[in-house]
């Protein structure tokens, strides 16, 4: 059989970028697993393979197309506005460009937002920056005031409350994982930003097998879903510091504390430092360039894989986005400093010497 035989059995021709969203690869991890994980299968769902580069493309499509179907929005009269740590904003900006909508993305004014800012602007959307110290609360306040100033013009998808968020994961992400894993999924691990991914995907997998263990991951510094205080962290995309409606709905009115909540069996965590270290490990051992939120879920997956009860089981881990989106993140500080030294501005254009730099020398 030709090594190219499988290339022509993939997704059909996409009539728009919206049609290219989903059906991302599920890849088995091997070299990054700890010594105690022998006999455990760990599979990574590579959501960076969506056209906008993250899992948030799914909810951007779902929220916009549901609002279009309801007659709530149309390109001739609507400006889409959303507050976000970046990935949802990029997905919305991409789809708005493809569909002809004006778009405003509200983000915190923080240096790690650089790649997200540039990407949103390249899609033609505007960026409004709010006080970084006020976090998601400040972004929400600003966005609500903007939308209220002209409700006929501005529309906010409200990713933290819009049921189209978890619904798209129930109808697409969960079925994809189940089919790709051949129906064998024993654990599903996902970080929590809005909570839509873990709730929607988890509900589908539980509907197929009630014994699937669903694990939600927060930053160690911001475990609000188990009743602990929010403090500063640098795991962009998860741990916004507020509880969210999708997880609240799993047990309405219940106390936020350790233990199971609805379909979520455990709330585990990783620190900023651990997340950065695991992102480096995945790049250097699996060839997977990922960001800190992926590092966080992988840290938790490595611990779960080392449990005695995980032997012979299959763990599916959600990898939400590519590390290319985090080059300005503090976790990449050393290599950014090295690159600045290696590639000075202006460059030295003298013809001699020919050889100028060897990155291996920096490892000494």
| Active-site residue, from 56, 140, 213, 313 | 56
Is 60 exceeded by the pLDDT of residue 154? Answer: yes
Question: In the structure encoding, which two tokens stand for residue 148, read together?
Answer: 């209220």
Query: Residue 79: enclosing H or E segment and its boundaries?
Result: strand 79-83
312 has a pLDDT exceeding 50: yes
56 given a catalytic annotation: yes
**What is the per-residue pLDDT for 329?**
87
Mean pLDDT of the chain: 94
* Among the listed residues 158, 131, 156, the one whose alpha carbon sits nearest the alpha carbon of residue 146: 156
What are the structural domain ranges in the chain? Answer: 14-49+173-326, 56-155
CB-count exposure of residue 49 (10 Å: 0-12, 13-18, 19+): middle
Q: How far apart are CA 135 and CA 153, in angstroms?
A: 25
Question: Which of helix, strand or coil describes residue 110?
Answer: coil
* Res. 7 pLDDT band, cuts 50 70 90: very low
User: Do 56-155 and 14-49+173-326 have the same topology in CATH?
Assistant: yes
pLDDT bucket at 5, cuts 50 / 70 / 90? very low
Q: At residue 8, does pLDDT exceed 50?
A: no
Cα separation, 265 vs 304, in Å, equals 13
Q: Give me the residue label for tokens 């997200």.
A: 116
CA separation for the pair 203, 209 (Å, rounded): 10
What is the pLDDT averaged over residues 216-241?
95
Distance of CA 283 to the CA centre of its chain: 17
How many residues are given for the chain? 364
The residue among 265, 268, 188 whose CA lies nearest residue 223 is: 268
Neighbour count for residue 212 (Cβ, 10 Å): 20
Distance CA 279, CA 122 (A): 26
Kindly state the average pLDDT of the residues 247-253.
Answer: 97
pLDDT (tens digit, 9 = 90+) per residue, 52-85?
999 999 999 999 999 999 999 999 999 999 999 8
Task: Report the Cα 43 to chain-centroid distance in Å.
Answer: 16
Residue that is written with structure tokens 């959303």 in the block: 82
Topology of the domain comprising 14-49+173-326: Rossmann fold (3.40.50)
Evaluate whether 153 touches 78 at the Cβ level (below 8 Å). Answer: yes
Q: Mean pLDDT across the stretch 295-321? A: 97
124-145 per-position pLDDT tens digit: 999 999 999 998 999 999 999 9
Going by pLDDT thresholds of 50, 70 and 90, the confidence category of residue 362 is confident
Q: At what angle do helices 56-70 and 87-99 cross, to 10 degrees?
A: 50
From the list 18, 245, 275, 293, the catalytic residue is: 293
Q: What is the pLDDT of residue 232?
A: 92
Question: CATH number for the 56-155 domain, one of 1.10.3480.10, 3.40.50.300, 3.30.70.260, 3.40.50.1100?
Answer: 3.40.50.1100
């Amino acid at each position: 059989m030709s090594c190219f035989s499988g290339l022509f059995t993939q997704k059909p021709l996409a009539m728009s970028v919206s049609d290219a969203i989903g059906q991302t690869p599920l890849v088995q991890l091997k070299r990054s697993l700890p010594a105690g994980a022998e006999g455990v299968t760990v599979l990574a769902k590579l959501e960076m393979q969506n056209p906008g580069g993250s899992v948030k493309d799914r909810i951007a499509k779902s929220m916009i197309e549901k609002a279009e179907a309801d007659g709530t929005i149309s390109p001739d009269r609507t400006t889409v506005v959303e507050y976000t740590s970046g990935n949802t904003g990029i997905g919305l900006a991409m789809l708005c460009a493809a569909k002809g909508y004006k778009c405003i993305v509200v983000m915190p004014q923080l240096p790690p937002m650089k790649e997200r800012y540039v990407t949103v602007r390249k899609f033609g959307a505007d960026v409004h920056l709010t006080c970084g110290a006020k976090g998601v609360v400040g972004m929400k306040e600003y966005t609500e005031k903007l939308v209220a100033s002209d409700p006929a013009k501005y529309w906010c998808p409200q990713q933290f409350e819009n049921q189209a968020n978890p619904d798209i994961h129930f109808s697409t992400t969960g079925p994809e994982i189940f089919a790709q894993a051949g129906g064998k999924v024993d654990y599903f691990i996902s970080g929590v930003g809005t909570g839509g991914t873990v709730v929607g995907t988890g509900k589908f997998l539980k509907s197929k097998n009630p014994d699937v263990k669903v694990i939600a991951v927060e930053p160690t510094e911001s475990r609000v879903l188990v009743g602990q205080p929010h403090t500063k962290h640098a795991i962009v995309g998860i741990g916004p510091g507020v509880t969210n409606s999708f997880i609240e709905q799993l047990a309405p009115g219940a106390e936020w504390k350790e233990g199971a909540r609805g379909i979520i069996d455990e709330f585990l965590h990783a620190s900023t430092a651990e997340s950065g270290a695991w992102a480096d490990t995945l790049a250097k051992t699996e060839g997977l360039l990922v960001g800190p939120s992926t590092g966080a879920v992988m840290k938790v997956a490595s611990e779960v894989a080392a449990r005695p009860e995980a032997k012979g089981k299959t763990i599916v881990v959600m990898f939400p986005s590519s590390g290319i989106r985090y080059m300005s993140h503090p976790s990449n500080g050393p290599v950014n400093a090295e690159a600045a030294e290696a590639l000075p501005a202006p460059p030295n254009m003298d013809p001699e010497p020919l050889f100028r730099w060897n990155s291996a020398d920096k490892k000494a």
